[in-house]
Amino acid sequence: MGRAVALAIAVLLLVPAFAGAQAVTRGSPLTAPANVPLGCESRVSLPALGSDQFLLQPAGLPSCSWWSTGPAAAIGDPNTGYVPTTGTITNVRVRSGPNPAVLRLVQLRSVAGCCTVVRHTEPFQPTPNAVTQVTVNWLTEAVRDSVAGVSTNDIIGFSAIGGTGTLPISDQGPGTHSPQAAFTPGVMGAGFTSPMGQPGALIAASNVGAYGYEVLLQYDFVPCPALNNVPVAPGTVTCPGQNTVTTPGANAAPTAPPSSGVPGVNPISFPRGFNARLQGINVPLSLICSLDIGCSGTVRLALALGAGTARAAKTVTLGTKKFKIKKGRHQVKVKLGKKSRARLRKKKSTTVTAIVTIPGMPTLRTTLKIRR
């Protein structure tokens, strides 16, 4: 018996019974290797001239989301991120490679098209070269209304920030990445979008298909048979006996997980009233990271020239520094060149702009004084 299969069976034995329903395991069997050496900075690109291959390639993207659409040659195959009926997702597992990116599990909702973000988890760090399990308590919908002609189907997937590591995806090899190969038995399909969305966001415009890439995500699902195929408005389904956990945010779409920052706000800040002092060739800055997973990005010091004149719009860069810090307050030293140091030594203090950029996050701009 394979290790992944044994793990799945062991977890199933621990899943509580909800209203007499029996849990089933869906998604990837987690037997394929996580062999894609890329992260969410990459996109599925259109075929080059003379080719029919949709390939995953580096593109400098800030973030992305992925989910399995299953094998096109086997309709109804359980290896998909689409839930089969209304019910509850209880556990989710991902298989990672040696340098996994920090992930967030995401629930999407397809209503006559794809898709709206329902909710996501807080970020978590998968274990390298292993299967990582996350417990959730998510009520999902699968409502097929033959009267209105509209179907609601929820999907489980993952999101990540670009440049933070590799994704739990298996490349099935050359020749599997074309629309023709998508209907070959065993070839998997996936959905991809960038940037990743916040709860309530519509991602239809950026959704593309990927052929020959298996999303290594598996989940335990407890169906709610009594409520399936009942015409109801999307988002109004309830399942008696399920989703009884009262943890805040467990059953509702969170607007901002505490450890992932507030949407629209850079996770870096400066101490209140902070000013810096030129020390030799460096300007030490105190940066505060609010993310549990840490912060990595770039800080740039810019100086406006000719304030109050026609030259007011012109700025020069005094120095730039890449950083990678843990949660909390840390010192980052920005190295200045000879000309930049000379500009700062003309006055006792100089007002500059600190510009902090983090992939996938809004740019932070703040003014501070640098004393010589």
Q: Which residue has the tokens 């029996």?
A: 22
pLDDT score recorded for residue 74: 83
CATH of the domain at 284: 2.60.40
Residues 6+ apart with CB under 8 A from 188: 68, 70, 71, 79, 172, 212, 213, 214, 215
Would 109 be classed as within a structural domain? yes
Do 19 and 94 belong to one domain? yes
Does residue 322 sit within a domain? yes
d(CA 291, CA 258): 8
- Asked if the structure places residue 231 within a domain, the reply is yes
Q: Are residues 104 and 168 in the same domain?
A: yes
pLDDT of residue 36: 93
d(CA 176, CA 161): 26
DSSP string, 111-173: ESSS-EEEEEPPPB-PPTTSEEEEEEEEEE-EEEETTTTEEEEEEEEEEEETTS-B-SEEE--
- Regarding whether 204 and 126 lie in a shared domain, the answer is yes
Write down the H helix ranges in the chain: 3-14, 338-344
Let me know if residue 52 belongs to a domain: yes
* Total domains, the chain: 2
- What is the spatial distance between Cα 45 and Cα 164, in angstroms, rounded to a whole number? 20
Same domain, 138 and 224: yes
Per-residue confidence (pLDDT) for residue 83, from 0 to 100: 92
Q: Are 132 and 7 in contact (CB under 8 A)?
A: no
Distance CA 137, CA 93 (A): 14
Same domain flag for 335 and 287: yes
End residue of a domain, out of 258, 279, 312: 258
Contact 28, 215 (CB under 8 A): yes
Cα–Cα distance measured from residue 156 to residue 70, given in angstroms and rounded to the nearest whole number: 12
Residue 86 domain-assigned (yes or no) = yes
Does one domain contain both 336 and 216?
Answer: no
Give a yes or no: residue 307 inside a domain: yes
Q: Is 261 left (phi over 0), alpha (psi -120 to 50) or beta?
A: left
- Are residue 157 and residue 240 in the same domain, yes or no? yes
Among 220, 235, 258, the domain boundary falls at 258
pLDDT of residue 18: 38
For 166-252, list the strands marked E by DSSP: 169-171, 189-193, 208-211, 213-215, 217-223
pLDDT given for residue 182 in this prediction: 82
> What is the predicted pLDDT for the residue at 310?
46
The pair of structure tokens assigned to 331 is: 């010192």
- 103 shares its domain with 234: yes
Q: Is the peptide bond before 195 cis (omega within 30 degrees of 0)?
A: yes
What domain range is 108 assigned to? 3-258
pLDDT of residue 328: 81
For 282-319, letters b (16+ CB in 10 Å) and e give: bbebebbbbbbbbbbbebbbebeeeeeeeeeeeeeebb
Q: Considering 192, 227, 258, which residue would you say is the last residue of a domain? A: 258
Residues 249 and 277 occupy one common structural domain: no
Does residue 38 share a domain with residue 148?
A: yes
Q: So what's the pLDDT on residue 372?
A: 84
Domain for residue 213, yes or no? yes
69: left (phi over 0), alpha (psi -120 to 50) or beta: alpha
- pLDDT per residue, tens digit, the chain (372 aa), is 333 333 333 333 333 333 346 789 999 999 999 999 999 988 887 766 666 677 888 888 888 899 999 998 787 889 999 998 888 999 999 999 999 999 999 999 887 667 888 888 888 889 999 999 999 989 888 877 666 566 788 999 999 988 889 999 999 998 898 888 888 899 999 988 888 877 777 775 566 778 899 999 999 999 886 554 454 555 555 665 443 332 223 333 333 333 333 344 567 888 877 788 889 999 999 988 876 567 888 999 998 876 544 444 578 999 999 998 887 889 999 999 999 989 888 888 899 999 998 776 667 888 889 998
Q: Are residues 21 and 168 in the same domain?
A: yes
**Which residue type is seen at 102?**
V
Task: Tell me, yes or no, whether 263 lies in a domain.
Answer: no
- What is the predicted pLDDT for the residue at 246? 28
pLDDT at position 8 is 36
Q: Are residues 244 and 275 in the same domain?
A: no
